[in-house]
Each structure stands twice: as structure tokens, then as C-alpha cells.
Structure 1
Amino acid sequence: MDNTVFLNTNREMPLLGLGVYKATGENEAENAIISAVESGYRLIDTASVYKNEENVGRGIASCGIPRNELFITTKVWNTAQRLGDIQGAFERSLDRLKLDYVDLYLIHWPVPGCYLSTWKVLEEIQKSGRALSIGVSNFEIRHLEELEANSGIIPAVNQIECHPLCYPKELIDYCQNKGIQVQAYAPLARGAYLDNDVMCVLGTKYAHTPAQIGLRWATQKGISVIPKSVHPDRIRSNGNIFDFTIEQEDMDLIDTLNENFHSSHVPEDLRDIAF
């Protein structure tokens, strides 16, 4: 069963990755990465605002997997956008990661009045070869439309919150029609659907956990997932999602669980803006 997707840059990206948000304890991110690669993960997702790029870099260096077999993502934060210091922020991320390039560099949030100019700099970074693909995170249709109107380069990825309780179908359809790969962060909704009756019944039916059902539901839709965990057993379990297929009627049933529930929050510096 194929567990990768091709981006509009003709580069391959795993459907499953490890998120390291809040993994800031000593050796926490490093140990999580080592556990993840042992379980078959090849995508690691971090961000400058996570304050753990150095630890991620150590994990990459010590995990025993050649760099060209890994897919590394990081993101530019809102402060750097407002300061117009995108190149500087990117170079600092590379330095902390101890890498010559990243596979994907994202605008973390569409900061009003900034994200169009930020995107222009990301285009330059991509042309330099130091980011093989560029994309966005938390962009809605209106942000993507404005980007398209001002740039010839379509984002390779839009990373959004997505899980059975938060299924923004219109946005996902828009992205897929435009050739933008959707990637789901918080795909386990921070545990919010793990005791849901429907998910538990389906877990029993398919002999997998509700978490695995939720992750498989997303990947069957072609959505990449980056569940966050620092626990080796959970990392291993979250990766065990490509050995079964959910029937279409059950996929449709999971779709009906959507209640636009967000387990993540808009950052404080953007809370006055309607998202």
C-alpha cells in the first residue's frame, strides 16, 4: 500500500510524519525521532516557534537514516514575518537543524499585511535550493486565492487542523483541486475523539485503535498526517495504519462526526482577526 504522495514540485512526501510540537524536554524530541524512524517514519515536522529545532537536528543526526531519505519540515513564525526577516529566520532554522536544506518550508500563519511579501521570499529560498518545496499552514480559501492572484507559484502544502471532529471539506476540496497537498496537524484532536462511540465501534470492527482509525481515515482521503507523540509505544501505534482499509460506508460515517472542533488555538497575536 503506497504511503507517500507526490507534491506539485514533483517531490515525494510521506503520508505519515512525526510532529514534535511541545517536545522541549531534554532529549525529548531527539528520542522521539529515533523511536519514529525505527517504526518506519521518514517525515519530521517542526517549527521555529516550537523552540526545539536544535533537538530535532540532533535527532536527525543520530537516527541512523541518510539525510536524503528523510523529509524535514520547518516553518517561519509571525514575528519574523512582521519584521520582514524571513531570510534571517530561515537561515537560523537551518543553523539550528544543522542542515543544508529542508524539504518543506511553510508560512506558519497568514499574518495580515505580511504573508504575500513573506511568500515572495519563500519563492527565492526555493529557487536557491535550500527549501525543496514551499507551502503554507492555517491558510483558508481566501488566503490561498489572494496568494494565487499575486504569485505564479502554488503552495505545495497547506497544513491545517484536520481530524474526524474537524473536517473542513470545502477547504480540503479546494486544495486538492488546486494541486495543494493537505497535511493534518493535531490529527488525533489531542485525544478528543478517542472515546467517541463511533470510533470505538469501528476500532473493534477493524481491530485497530480509535487513534489508528482516525489517522487511516485521513490518509485514505490522501491527507498527510503528523501525529505528535514522545512516547515510543504511541509513536509505533500511530504508524501502524497502512495494513488495513476502511470501507467507504464507514469513511462516510466518520465524515458525519465533524463538528468544526478545534483542539488548537489561533495565536494571541492574531486573535483579533477573523479566521
Structure 2
Amino acid sequence: MLASRRLLLSCKNGANQASNFLRRSGGPSKRIQSFNYSKSTRQSHGTPRVNPPLPIGGGGTQASSRSRVRYAIPALVLGFTGFISFLHYNDERRVVPKGQASSNSGCGCGSNTTVKGPIIGGPFTLVSTQNKIVTLNDFCGKWVLLYFGYSFSPDVGPEQLKMMSKAVDKLEAKHNQKIMPVFVTLDPQRDTPSHLHAYLKEFDSRILGLTGAASAMRQMAQEYRVYFKKVQEDGDDYLVDTSHNMYLLNPKMEVVRCFGVEYNPDELSQEVLKEVTSLPQ
């Protein structure tokens, strides 16, 4: 009898101590209640779940922001590096390193020859001022001075054509060197064969004018790396913003020099003469 009373008192004391401990530590009753609330929230589709309040001061938000910045910066660096690598690879596909053979001159005369640098140029099919089909092969064996412009150019275009004509005159009269002047329009919409014929005749009848479909002109400009862009003016009028490239092509139809608008006729003729006389006969 005495043993059973002691056992009963011991169980009551143990239960009281366990109850006090749970109240002090926020025991399983709270965890069970929180779990049931979360579960009921997920089951009720219309009632949003209530998250516990964040610590005062936003420490969690700052830590999350720092974490995102830490990963975002390397990602941006890698993305930019990849973009630059792509551009470099794409440009390398259009370039033949110095001293290596080239089989893409677009001409049958001496196509497998060493080149001095990047390939500029390529095959084309255009229409001349005499309404004849002209390709790159038609110029093989000749020195060609090739200028990209348009007949409605208000100032730079006419000056470049005058310089080309005078330089060709000097080379032929003083040095007995025949250079073929060629004008390629970047405005095929207005520069028809008949219009180009009348326009170029005012400068020099020896200048061969080339035009064609808009797609063919864009392709040739891309091959020769010529910049041009239509600039709309009042009404239907427009100008063409261009880099006014002028190239010297050797008899193998390789671009050997590029001349800018800063040259005058004397300088242009002297530079062309250097290239012509430097080529082994």
C-alpha cells in the first residue's frame, strides 16, 4: 500500500515538471499548432499564407541582396566575355592571316596567292551604265580604282570623282600607267543605268558606273566593308550617309590600298604609282 502511494506521487511530480518545462520552452503544443495552421493554409486556396515577421532591421533582406549581387557580377562578366569572343570569332572567319594562301579572291586569275592582310572584297554581279552584266571576273588583269558613293551626294561625292579623274590622268600621262576607274552606287533606287551614265559623263567618260538590285548592292557593300545608311529628309527626299571608301585593286582583284577623303589628286596618284610599280612584272 505504501509502495503504491509513493509510485502515484512520483508520477504526479513527473507530470507537473514536464508540463512546466513545456510551457517555458514553447513545447510541442505550439509546434503542432503552427503545423496545423500551415497545413490548413495550403488547403484553403483563397486565404494567403501568413509568414512570420522578419527580424527588425531587415537583416534577411540585406543578406539576400548581397547574395544576389555576389552571383550577378560574375554572370555579367562571363556574358560580356562570351559576347566579345563571339564577335572576334565571327570576324576571324572573314580574315586570312598574313602570309597564308587565299582561295576566296572571287577571280580565276591567281586565286591561290598569299595576301598581305584581311580579305576585303568578293564576287559580285551588277549592271553597268550600258545595261550590261558585270562581274568581278571582268576586271581581272587590270588595276582598278573602285569608289563607293551616290550621284545625289551634295559635296563629298563630286569631289571624290574629280580627284579620281585627275589622278588617273596623271598616272596615264606622266607614268604610262592605265588605271580603270569604277564608280559603285549605294543608291540604286535613284541611280539607274541611264542616270549614272549621264552623271558620270560630266566628270570623266572613262569612269564605269555600276548599279543593280538593292540586295546586290548591300551584299557588295558588306563584302567591301562599306558603311552606308539612308537618312530621310523633308518629304520623299533623302541623303545617304556613307564612308566614301575608295579602294585600289591589283590585277588579281585583291584590295591592296584604301584611300580616304583626305587625299588630293597628286597624293592619290603617287600612292597608286607606288603599288603599281612594286608589283613584280
Q: TM-score, normalised by structure 1?
A: 0.29
CA radius of gyration, larger in: 2
Q: TM-score, normalised by structure 2?
A: 0.29
